[in-house]
Amino acid sequence: MILVVAQSLSKTYATDSVEVKAVQGVSFEITAGSFLSFVGPSGSGKTTLLNLIGCLDKPTSGSLTVAGVDVARLDRAQAAAFRGENIGFVFQSFNLMPVLTAFENIEYPLVMVQNKLPGERRTRVLELLQAVGMSDQKNKFPDQLSGGQKQRIAIARALVTQPKLVLADEPTANLDHETAYTIIRLMKKMRNDLNTTFIFSTHDTRIIGEAEIICTLEDGKLVRCEEAHG
Amino acid sequence: MGNLFKIALRNLRRYKRRTALTISLIAFGVIFVLVFVSITGSFKQLMITQITDSYLGDLQIHRRGYVASIENLPLNLNLTPAQVSVIEKGLDNIQEVEARSERIKFGALFSTFAETTNIRINGVYPEKEFATCPRMASRIIQGEKGIGALQKGKILVPELLARGFKTKIGDTVVVVATNKDGSVNGKTFVVSGILESATGPGGRDGYIHFEDAVEILRLQGKEVSEIAVRVKSLGRVGEVAQNIRARLDGEGQKQEQSGFEIHTWSQLSPFANIANMIDVMTFFIKLMLIAIVLISILNVMIMAVYERVREIGTIAAIGTSPRKILSLFLVEGFSLGVTGAVVGVLLALGIIAVLNLLKLSFTFGQSAGLILAPTIAPLDVLTASVMVIVVSLLASAQPAYKASRMEPIDALRHV
């Protein structure tokens, strides 16, 4: 089943004097359950592409369908609702709410976005805490956790709404190599367990090999998409 | 909603000093308003009751045109016996009326046989006058304190006059007056008491028995200059005046009498202007409170939004609706306002209690040793609290709206 379809997708940022073509005529399809990485140097358009797929930004031209919805046509509120139901995000800087505990951070989207009942929330959060190996840290606040632990919580938060797709923009950029590797393996494990599609961007050559499909971007153009070997 | 409050309160706790400062400012404003309202309110109430209970009554009924000429105490504008009868019947049927006192007021010459001066005299029935103006007895600083001081043939002399003429209790004095036909008559009186001056017109009058006044002025029947009325609740004096007016106007027309005029204490006493000024000052103090709350909350919420742009971007990105983001910040402002109001109200009530324990005294005009007893009505507390909370919400609205309108992509890029 195809989850994401992009056709001639372009995004141009215009400032007063300069026009930046961040993504230029990109077309691709992503199958549900993929573990895909966009790779490329800084400024190649990885983040822009993830933002477009994540309905955080709108394409300048071309079409983009996510889970069967033409996301370019969604207004602010519709896009927020769509993200809340279908997409999970993992950020480079973890972006956990500092005033909430690990448990509450994971629970947040269920409370504020999906309005789930307390019993269901608790069950789901505890399952994910177990899955990411953070059960014993559930009452700690983000500033009491290490970078790797924060990212585990962020992954759990991204998955708690049972999204079709998780987008991770440079999820290992702020982590040491060993932790980065662990996080990518964790993401893959979660994909295997939950069959959620994971798309992440990275320019870290050490972890690129963990992706099953690698799409290379250069100057906003998709150069190739290939299945990784090994 | 509970979760919104939990997150809002934790966010407020995150910036402890700023939150404490903002709450302190709001609380200070609330304290200032409530203590000011309680002190000025009690001062106002004290002064009003001093005036109404000492000599004025809560309201007065005159023949139409009398008050315009009240400085001259015109005998030809006295209420006629027929009018008095109508008024008395009318008042008897009004439940809110507690007491009434018919008065004959006139200007006279006061002589100690050695010296003579002008005096304003009130001829009253002592029982009725003391019931209508219950502080009358406490104004008698020398001599008989009760209604015995105003038996026939006795006079209560105002303090200043007594001092100037060195008049003592038991002295014989003469009161000479011109009646409305132009003839002059006099009567001797025994000084039964010295009357403390009171602030306002009528506060330096002498008092004699009603029938002595009738005799001096050679009045035919029960003519009176005014009927002072005490109502059961001073707060409802305007309403009672309306009620009396409606009743008497009807009666007066039926009997083909000229009209009556009814004035409440505030229309008769210049202190009403001071009371109005106090109300205006209170209004401006409340405006200051609004400004304090508005600026404090606006400042803290603008800072909160500015400092948490990435956080806003994150919650927006994971699907939090703009409406919920708006609510989140509104709840923060609301919580600040509620906490500030609660702290302010509690401290203000404490301060008011302490002021009552201290029993502060003050002097106003001719009245000395007045004890300040500040009280605050539940409605004033409620008004100040609601005002703070509403202004808190209004002040939070703009920053909250700004947060809710942020594009997640821009907010996430924010450094």
Q: Where residue B255 falls among pLDDT bands split at 50, 70, 90?
A: very low
Residue A67, φ and ψ in degrees, nearest 5: 50, 40
A97/B307 Cα distance (integer angstroms): 13
In what helix (H) or strand (E) does residue A135 lie, and over which residues does it extend?
none
How buried is A73 (Cβ within 10 angstroms: 0-12 exposed, 13-18 middle, 19+ buried)?
A: exposed
Q: What are phi and psi of B118, to 5 degrees?
A: -85, 150
Q: What percent of chain B has pLDDT over 70?
A: 95
The pLDDT of residue B293: 85
- For the CA atoms of A4, B312, B415, A56, what is the dihedral angle to 10 degrees? 20
| Predicted pLDDT at B252 | 52
Q: Is the pLDDT of residue B132 over 90?
A: yes
Evaluate if residue B5 carries a pLDDT over 60.
Answer: yes
Separation in Å, CA A32 to CA A29, A55, A191: 10, 18, 10
- Return d(Cα A104, Cα B163) in angstroms, integer: 83
What is the rounded CA–CA span in Å between residue A110 and residue A24?
Answer: 36
CATH code 3.40.630.30 for A2-227:
no
Sign of CA dihedral B333, B335, B341, B343: negative
pLDDT band at B13 (very low <50, low <70, confident <90, very high): confident
Give B302-357 pLDDT, tens digit per residue.
988 888 899 999 999 999 989 999 999 999 999 999 999 999 999 999 999 999 99
Whole-number pLDDT of residue A199: 94
B10 chain-A contacts, CB cut-off 8 A: 99-100
| CA-based nearest residue to B380, from B30, B22, B28, B27 | B30
Q: What pLDDT score does B215 carry?
A: 92
Structure tokens at B406: 């942020």
B3 in contact with A, Cβ within 8 Å: yes
Residue B16 touches chain A, beta carbons under 8 Å: no
Q: Nearest to residue B86, comparing CAs of B102, B98, B69? A: B102
Nearest to A99 by CA among B332, B389, B316, B410: B332
Q: pLDDT tens for residues B184-241?
A: 999 999 999 998 877 666 667 899 999 999 999 998 888 899 999 999 988 888 998 9
Among chain A residues, CA nearest to B322: A77
Q: How confident is the model at residue A229 (pLDDT cuts 50, 70, 90)?
A: low
Q: Which amino acid is at A150?
A: K
Average pLDDT of the segment spanning B401-405: 93
Number of A–B residue contacts, CB under 8 Å: 71
pLDDT for the residue B413: 83
What pLDDT, on a 0 to 100 scale, did the predictor assign at position A88?
93
8 Å CB contact between A60 and A10:
yes
Q: Report which of B384, B350, B329 is spatially closest to residue B34, judged by C-alpha positions.
A: B384
pLDDT at B258 over 60: no
Does the pLDDT at position B415 exceed 80?
no
Confidence of residue A67 (pLDDT cuts 50, 70, 90): very high
Give helix B271-307 / helix B309-317 axis angle, nearest 10°.
70
Cβ B153 vs Cβ B192: under 8 Å: no
Question: What CA–CA distance (Å, rounded) separates B116 from A60?
Answer: 105
Indicate yes or no: CB of A95 within 8 angstroms of CB of B310: yes
Q: Does B13 touch chain A (CB under 8 A)?
A: yes
User: Which residue of chain B has the CA closest to A107?
Assistant: B3
Q: Which residue of B has its CA nearest to A56?
A: B409
The pLDDT of residue B263 is above 60? yes
A22-46 average pLDDT score: 91
Does residue B411 sit at the A interface (CB-CB below 8 Å)?
A: no
Query: Is A99 in contact with B7 (Cβ distance < 8 A)?
Result: yes
Q: Is-contact B204 B229, C-beta < 8 A?
A: no
Q: What share of chain A is helix, strand, coil (3-state, %, to 5)?
A: 40, 30, 35
Asked whether residue B3 carries a pLDDT value surpassing 80, the answer given is no
Going by the DSSP 8-state scheme, the letter that residue A228 receives in this structure is P
Hey, are the CB atoms on B11 and A57 less than 8 Å from each other?
no
Q: State the nearest Cα–Cα gap between A229 and chain B, in angstroms.
A: 33
Put simply, whether B184 touches A (Cβ < 8 Å) is: no
Chain A's closest residue to B308, CA to CA, is A97
Confirm or reject contact between B314 and chain A (CB < 8 A).
yes
Q: State both tokens at B179.
A: 């009646």
